[in-house]
Amino acid sequence: MKGSSIYRIGFVCLAVVLFSCDKDYLNRPPEDQVDAEFFFNTAKDLEVATNDFYTMISGKDVYTDDSHSDNVVPLIASDRVRGSRIVPTRRGSGGWSWGRLRDINFFLENYHKVSDEDAKLHYGGVARFFRAYFYFDKVQKFGDVPWYGKVLKAGDEGLYKPRDSRELVMDSIMVDIDYAIDHIPAEKELNKVTKYTALLLKARIALYEGTWRKYHGKGDYERFLNEAVVAAETLMNSGEYSLFTSGGADAAYRNLFSRDNQDMVETILAQDFEREKEHHNLGYLMTAPTSGAWGVPKDLVNSYLMKNGTRFTDVANYDEMEFYEEMQNRDPRLKQTTAGPNFIVNGESSVEPVTLAGTTTGYRVIKGLPSKDQWSAAHFDLIVFRYAEALLTFAEAKAELGAITQADLDKSVNLLRDRVGMPHLNLANANANPDQYLENMYVNVDQGLNKGVILEIRRERRIEMFNEGLRWDDLMRWKEGKKIEQPMVGIYFSGLGGYDFNNDGNVDVYLHDGDPSGAPSTATTLINIQQRPLTNGTSGNLNPFSLGGSFDESKDYLYPLPLEDLSLNSNLEQNPNW
């Protein structure tokens, strides 16, 4: 599928001429109208034009967004985690940019000139997919936004309109994504938007809006949750996708993300990269001590169940277990997400020496970690949409509606557990005994009869979709922003001295308070607690983010608008308390 990359289109130069996005406003010079006279004539013209829209989708952003949440602790915490976002000044900054929308609307005003009816339906659907994608991002960030369904010219009154209601915008998004589903052909393509991509985007949009409305007290949430169920179940019933299982329970989940080339078993849309042509730096962010140094937080490690399906957090002294012990007999996804004892790098045959230098918390991120030759410049494909999300969306929407059954769990969440050989989630047991650890994590969860299973689905979603760019949005829609303020700590150490991480009788990690002279020669990682502090002085958890997160419930669920835009358009109002 390398030849059909969503980012390497042979005609992209022409598309860029027509659809340049280097200005963040809606009115542009009228020369575009002249271009449209000779460009929108053939099906190939429509393909070329819509190919440019794919630059809106960044697989790299999918895999870096979690480092701006409570899922990944980077070397330097982001502004939104630290609660230090500020109101942007420059027009079109801070996410309040509209150039891409203008490109899409320009296409939609001109594509009808082509005589090929099938092409018009197909590419009209693709354009509406991207308009739905564009506006969904805007609603997530800003709430109410102006809806523009056409190209605006200088002097148009609409240039200075106020925001439209969230209800109008969301209903318009749903109309667009339904058009895309109805008119894009039901053909599988790895690097192009298809009917199946549109179904999954609709499920994501509807789940977000339904749970946002439910937990933020906005009403009419059931309509969107039902739409999420239908979209996800339609994709599930299509039979076109299944879960990737190559490598078995102990390797399939990791293999799905770390291979160079994606296929269309589980992956619905991927960003394509090729050696010698295009690269990204995700391998570097996972391994570089002075750059990303990504670390998995301890509360996520604690959330993985035992191999027999019981809760790790029900085990005595779970919070003071040393590394080797806590990694035993757990959900196999744990050691396919973070490096466990005797970790072997993708493509290698020998065990990797224990090193905590490239991870803030001590728990290395290995989901998507490529072979060593790609640690500085990676070229493995990046998954943008995959089938597992549909299973989780279906289950969550049904649970939030109070309509979930054991049969629903068996055809969704329990398929994910089957992939890794885990016991099934039992509806009655989950609701009869909600997990207190998860209740403390999600304080605003529905307190009804399905509380237990909703918590378990949230556990499953965080584990299964880790580092795929959904975590911040999940916390926002659940109204769980304060989760950011819970400790983001790492591996537990009972005191100074040596630790055997792989149970081979040799010290791998040695902690000291400035004098490493006692470290044995086998120690591959030396930790000076004056530089990498623990939570309790000479004992406790690695504490890379001692200041902790900060979240203001009165404003931080939305982003601020730029000052210049507010000044230029007096009908716009700033989001509350910014």
| Token duo for residue 167 | 């209800």
Q: List pLDDT tens digits, range 123-134.
A: 999 999 999 999
**Is 75 inside a domain boundary?**
no
Which residue has tokens 């490598």? 247
Q: Is the pLDDT of residue 571 over 70?
A: yes
Tokens read off for 144: 């109410």
Report yes or no on 503 lying in a domain: yes
Which tens digit of pLDDT belongs to each residue from 320-363? Answer: 999 999 999 999 999 999 999 999 999 899 999 999 999 999 99
Q: How many CA atoms lie within 13 A of 147 on its CB side?
A: 17
Using the predicted structure, report yes or no on whether residue 155 has a pLDDT greater than 90.
Answer: no
Residue 501 pLDDT:
97
Beta strands at 492-493 and 382-386: parallel, antiparallel or unpaired: unpaired
Residue 119 has pLDDT above 60, yes or no: yes
Closest among 334, 397, 386 to 364, alpha carbons compared: 334
Calpha distance 122→344 (Å, rounded): 45
Residue 498 lies in a domain: yes
Average pLDDT over residues 459-476: 98
Residues 6+ away with beta carbon under 8 Å from 91: 24, 25, 562, 564, 565, 568
Q: Any idea which of 14-23, 140-149, 268-277 has the lowest mean pLDDT?
A: 14-23
d(CA 531, CA 528): 5
Of 509, 462, 487, the C-alpha closest to 71 is 462
Q: Which domain covers residue 503, as residue numbers?
A: 492-541
Instruction: Please classify residue 137 by burial: count the beta carbons closer than 10 Å to its beta carbon, then call 0-12 exposed, 13-18 middle and 19+ buried.
Output: middle
Band (28; pLDDT cuts 50, 70, 90) = very low
Spatial CA neighbour of 23 closest among 90, 89, 85: 90
Q: Return d(Cα 189, Cα 198) in angstroms, integer.
A: 12
Give the count of alpha carbons within 13 A of 481, CB side only. 18
pLDDT above 90 covers what percent of the chain? 84
137 lies in some domain: no
Residue 34: pLDDT band with limits 50, 70, 90:
very low
pLDDT at position 36: 64
Q: How far apart are CA 124 and CA 122, in angstroms?
A: 6
pLDDT given at position 38? 62
- 20 versus 270: the higher-pLDDT residue is 270
Residue 63, pLDDT score: 86
Pairwise CA distance, residues 108 & 183, whole Å: 14
| Under 8 Å between Cβ of 163 and 144 | yes
Q: Is 522 within the bounds of a domain?
A: yes
pLDDT for res 494: 98
Assess whether pLDDT exceeds 70 at residue 402: yes
Domain assignment present for 521: yes
User: What's the whole-number mean pLDDT along residues 107-117?
Assistant: 95
pTM of the model: 0.93
Instruction: Encode 261-280: b = buried (16+ Cβ within 10 Å), e = exposed.
Output: ebebebbbbbbbbeeeeebb
Mean pLDDT of the chain: 92
Helix %, strand %, coil % for the chain, to 5? 45, 5, 50
Cα–Cα distance list, 219 to 170, 210, 405, 479 (Å): 14, 9, 24, 14
How much is the pLDDT for 376? 84
CA dist 191 to 104, 399, 448, 472, Å? 19, 32, 42, 26
How many angstroms separate the CA atoms of 272 and 261, rounded?
8
- At residue 275, the pLDDT reads 61
Measured in degrees and rounded to the nearest 5, phi and psi for residue 15 equal -60, -40
How many whole angstroms separate alpha carbon 440 and alpha carbon 442?
6
Count structural domains, the chain: 1
In a domain, 519, yes or no: yes
70, burial (CB in 10 Å: exposed 0-12, middle 13-18, buried 19+): buried
Instruction: Show Cβ contacts of residue 38 under 8 Å, excluding neighbours closer than 6 positions.
Output: none
Residue 510 forms part of a structural domain = yes
Dump pLDDT digits (tens) for 505-532.
999 999 999 999 999 999 999 999 999 9
CB proximity list for 557: less than 8 A, separation 6 or greater? 216, 476, 479, 481
